[in-house]
A and B are shown apart, each in its own frame.
Chain A
């Protein structure tokens, strides 16, 4: 309970009268009143008015005295105004000289308006007990002239309004993924890189990727190629030995060779009939070559920066992105913690929207749900690679390549 003061004493009055104060509070209350005689007097009046008859319309005895012009009305002390009005004659035992006329009581009643008003308000607020409400209704029947006053109270109740907040959308918050979706070209461009990051080698052996035409089966998709490569190292070996520019390849590391295959653009193909045999030819549009070069250039630049700072490319790229997403990352659909993979998926959507493309991210997973292979691409370019979490395969592969190069 808050500390007593002149500002909240009324609330304490009411609490006391409604018996909501505990012993300590009562002591504090009366102690306070002792030091404030004016308030004590006010309190006594209220107590007399509200508690004595436990009704809102008890008699104001001073007014009764005044309007009865000094007549003895002491017999009315224990009755309330309602009963007095209903039965204007005092009790049977009262002396005849104490007869009080109804009109005097009306005057008293009007003067004692506060009690009547409180009764009306309490009725409107639904604070009256059923019994009190019945008494009020009966009183209105007996004294119809009070009805007007009561109706006025009813009318001053404010009706609910229909005003609505204009443009609620400005109050709302967007989902973080929507922000991510429109994060801008920088974030969008990162999508392709992030997808690659999962599979690229650590910094230190970075070289510019070179491009050449892939001469595997024309119907094989990048994903197919990646899977075939994982199954058979012989196929892999053969694919290296059949390259046209073997001399150029020998000056690069095996790491580069693997990346070359990974980043090799997959051209669109058209069926051509040569000497009665239908075959496929690579027909790469110049613009598609430019797209591929731009992507490759971006990747290389980021890789270079990562290498210079002696950090992994992933951490370099993820740092600003995580800062950007920061607090909102938790609110991603499903409350998944943000990961490189989630980011790649979302940002690819960004790429598609901003570039009006339809780049797809395809994955192959093993029985345990682990990522096995990945492909990113659309009709203009394809990037596919196997996850290098099979040390034995890679070791064998690397040995084979090194032997080829020595030969």
Chain B
């Protein structure tokens, strides 16, 4: 990968990666650091990463770094633990989008990750599987679970309202 190719990669993917990291971490500074770290890794391994693999490599690295970061931040929670009990507190109505974003923070990281990749970036099950290291069928299951979890939380809010 030449300098020009690398810079083109930055132009093409940095925004999507940043959005992904931002949704995962909910922290702009951390999200920027993660993206920067990933591009440094790509530059260091540029000899081994072809242009066709770079997208997958970038998203996989951001996903892994985000998961690590979340584990460090909340070491006592397992990936599937969070979704059992809804923890949304009644809030003034701020629009469905805001509520969805709040709910998104509360679902397990792996489900959040696949849901973000699916909805925000529009990736297929296969691509998400490559990025997250899951099987396609697992991705499907996680997406279904995530949607159900979000819907249940929304219904609870509706009940409260």
In the bound complex, do residue B7 and residue A172 qualify as a contact, i.e. CB atoms below 8 Å apart? yes
- Give complex CA distance A171, B97 in Å: 31
Given contact pairs A165-B17, A171-B35, A157 touches B119 in the complex (Cβ within 8 A): yes
In the bound complex, do residue B151 and residue A163 qualify as a contact, i.e. CB atoms below 8 Å apart? no
Which chain B residues lie closer than 8 Å to A171 at the CB level? 10, 14, 35-36, 39
Given contact pairs A10-B141, A124-B147, A173-B6, A165 touches B154 in the complex (Cβ within 8 A): no
Q: What string of 1s and 0s marks CB contacts (under 8 Å) between A142-179 and chain B? A: 00000000001101111111011110101111111000
Tell whether B138 is near chain A: CB-to-CB under 8 Å: yes
Name B118-152 residues within 8 Å CB distance of A: 118-122, 134-135, 137-138, 140-141, 143-144, 147-148, 150-151
A354 CB → nearest B CB, Å:
23
Given contact pairs A11-B141, A172-B7, A165 touches B119 in the complex (Cβ within 8 A): no
A28 CB → nearest B CB, Å:
15
In the bound complex, do residue B96 and residue A164 qualify as a contact, i.e. CB atoms below 8 Å apart? no
Q: Max chain B CB contacts within 10 Å: which of A8, A15, A163, A170?
A: A163
Which chain B residues lie closer than 8 Å to A118 at the CB level? 144
Interface size on A, residues (CB 8 A): 36
Tell whether B18 is near chain A: CB-to-CB under 8 Å: yes
Which chain A residues lie closer than 8 Å to B96 at the CB level? 155
Tell whether B83 is near chain A: CB-to-CB under 8 Å: no
Name A1-44 residues within 8 Å CB distance of B: 2, 8, 10-11, 14-15, 18, 20
In the bound complex, do residue A165 and residue B143 qualify as a contact, i.e. CB atoms below 8 Å apart? no
B122 CB → nearest A CB, Å:
8
B7 CB → nearest A CB, Å:
5
Main secondary structure of the interface of A (DSSP, over half): loop
In the bound complex, do residue B11 and residue A168 qualify as a contact, i.e. CB atoms below 8 Å apart? yes
- Which of A8, A20, A156, A331 interacts with B150 by CB under 8 Å? A156
In the bound complex, do residue B7 and residue A173 qualify as a contact, i.e. CB atoms below 8 Å apart? yes
Name A123-156 residues within 8 Å CB distance of B: 124-125, 127, 152-153, 155-156
Given contact pairs A14-B137, A118-B144, A163-B15, A156 touches B6 in the complex (Cβ within 8 A): no
Given contact pairs A8-B138, A11-B138, A152-B154, A158 touches B115 in the complex (Cβ within 8 A): yes
B140 CB → nearest A CB, Å:
7
Interface size range of chain B in the complex: 35 or more
Tell whether B68 is near chain A: CB-to-CB under 8 Å: no
In the bound complex, do residue B151 and residue A117 qualify as a contact, i.e. CB atoms below 8 Å apart? yes
A14 CB → nearest B CB, Å:
4
Tell whether B60 is near chain A: CB-to-CB under 8 Å: no
Tell whether B100 is near chain A: CB-to-CB under 8 Å: yes
Tell whether A121 is near chain B: CB-to-CB under 8 Å: yes
- Give complex CA distance A155, B104 in Å: 14
Which chain B residues lie closer than 8 Å to A176 at the CB level? 3
Closest to B148 in A: A117
In the bound complex, do residue A158 and residue B14 qualify as a contact, i.e. CB atoms below 8 Å apart? no
Tell whether B106 is near chain A: CB-to-CB under 8 Å: no
In the bound complex, do residue B100 and residue A158 qualify as a contact, i.e. CB atoms below 8 Å apart? yes
In the bound complex, do residue A121 and residue B18 qualify as a contact, i.e. CB atoms below 8 Å apart? no
Tell whether B63 is near chain A: CB-to-CB under 8 Å: no
- Which of B22, B138, B143 interacts with A163 by CB under 8 Å? B22
In the bound complex, do residue B143 and residue A158 qualify as a contact, i.e. CB atoms below 8 Å apart? no
In the bound complex, do residue B119 and residue A160 qualify as a contact, i.e. CB atoms below 8 Å apart? yes
Q: What string of 1s and 0s marks CB contacts (under 8 Å) between A309-350 and chain B? A: 000000000000000000000010000000000000000000
- Give complex CA distance A14, B129 in Å: 15
- Give complex CA distance A117, B145 in Å: 10
In the bound complex, do residue A166 and residue B32 qualify as a contact, i.e. CB atoms below 8 Å apart? yes
Tell whether B2 is near chain A: CB-to-CB under 8 Å: yes
- Give complex CA distance A153, B22 in Å: 24
Which chain B residues lie closer than 8 Å to A170 at the CB level? 36
Which chain A residues lie closer than 8 Å to B11 at the CB level? 168
Which chain A residues lie closer than 8 Å to B119 at the CB level? 157-160
Which chain B residues lie closer than 8 Å to A158 at the CB level? 100, 104, 115-116, 119-120
Given contact pairs A121-B147, A173-B6, A165 touches B35 in the complex (Cβ within 8 A): yes
Q: Can you name 21 A-B residue pairings with CB atoms under 8 Å?
A: A2-B135, A8-B135, A8-B138, A11-B134, A11-B135, A20-B137, A121-B143, A121-B144, A125-B118, A125-B140, A156-B100, A156-B151, A158-B100, A158-B119, A163-B19, A164-B18, A170-B36, A171-B10, A173-B3, A173-B6, A173-B43
> Sorted from nearest, which 10 A-B pairs have the closest CB atoms?
A158-B119, A14-B137, A165-B18, A165-B14, A11-B138, A11-B137, A11-B135, A172-B7, A164-B15, A171-B10
With A156-B151, A175-B4, A331-B2 given, can you name 6 additional A-B contacts, CB distance below 8 Å?
A: A14-B137, A127-B140, A156-B100, A168-B14, A171-B39, A331-B3
List A residues at the B interface (Cβ < 8 Å): 2, 8, 10-11, 14-15, 18, 20, 117-118, 121, 124-125, 127, 152-153, 155-161, 163-166, 168, 170-176, 331
